[in-house]
Copies of this chain bind each other. A is one copy, B any other.
Amino acid sequence: MHATLRDPEPPLTRSVEDYLKAIYHLSSQGGFAATSDIAALLEVAPPSVSGMVKRLSETGLIEHVPYRGVQLTAQGRRAALRMIRRHRVLEVYLSQQLGYDWDGVHTEAERLEHAVSDELIERMAKALGDPQYDPHGAPIPTAAGEIEEAELVPLADAPIGAVIEVRQVADEDAARLRYLAEQGLTPGTLLTVTERQPFNGPTIAKLRPSGEARVVGQELARSLWCRVVTP
């Protein structure tokens, strides 16, 4: 009801959608997304970001504090979450219905997310039984724009002895994702951290229930986000 009464938001370009997604990801932790970080994520030069930032703040999608960074407005956040829903539903669909690998879905979804209609996304979601998580374990926003905010810690910071569940893999590199899949370190896996080497060394964990040991280097252990099941 309310949604249909709202002013019809004008269609956004592909670029704009990419900027909004980037800003969402970069500002989800701290408050502001920095120009140079946006530039690095989107692989454009910083002045291109400045230009786009000006346009986006004029249309009310972001707030810009010069020399500080940008934040999404409510409208910008809505648009960003819509893109993220599209991306993640597409990832699940491609991997479950079309046999894509866990590590190959990202690139395809990256292009499709700008072209699909809302109707197609909802049909895909329904065909999949309205999934809550994408293949990398990231939560899928609802069509209404709500997203689960879970308390997760990187495996590298997980307390020794705790039972933890791998929830999310924050890495898009196909080779790394493939490696994690081979190691059985996919969302849903339960682990006990047994040991952590000093000086940013690897984390050592046992798979549950099998008890097999896994040695996870510092870098990977930073991108494996986990939920602490029993401390």
Contact = CB atoms under 8 A, between A and B. Distances in A.
Interface of A: 94, 97-100, 107-108, 111-112, 114-117, 119-120, 123-124, 127
Given A97-B97, A111-B116, 16 more contacts: A94-B120, A97-B127, A98-B123, A98-B124, A98-B127, A99-B123, A107-B117, A108-B116, A108-B117, A108-B119, A108-B120, A111-B117, A112-B112, A112-B115, A114-B115, A115-B115
Number of copies: 2
A111 B119 CA distance: 13
A108 B118 CA distance: 10
A98 B107 CA distance: 22
A93 to B, nearest CB: 9
A9 B100 CA distance: 25
22 contacts: A94-B120, A97-B97, A97-B127, A98-B120, A98-B123, A98-B124, A98-B127, A99-B123, A100-B123, A107-B117, A108-B116, A108-B117, A108-B119, A108-B120, A111-B115, A111-B116, A111-B117, A112-B112, A112-B115, A112-B116, A114-B115, A115-B115
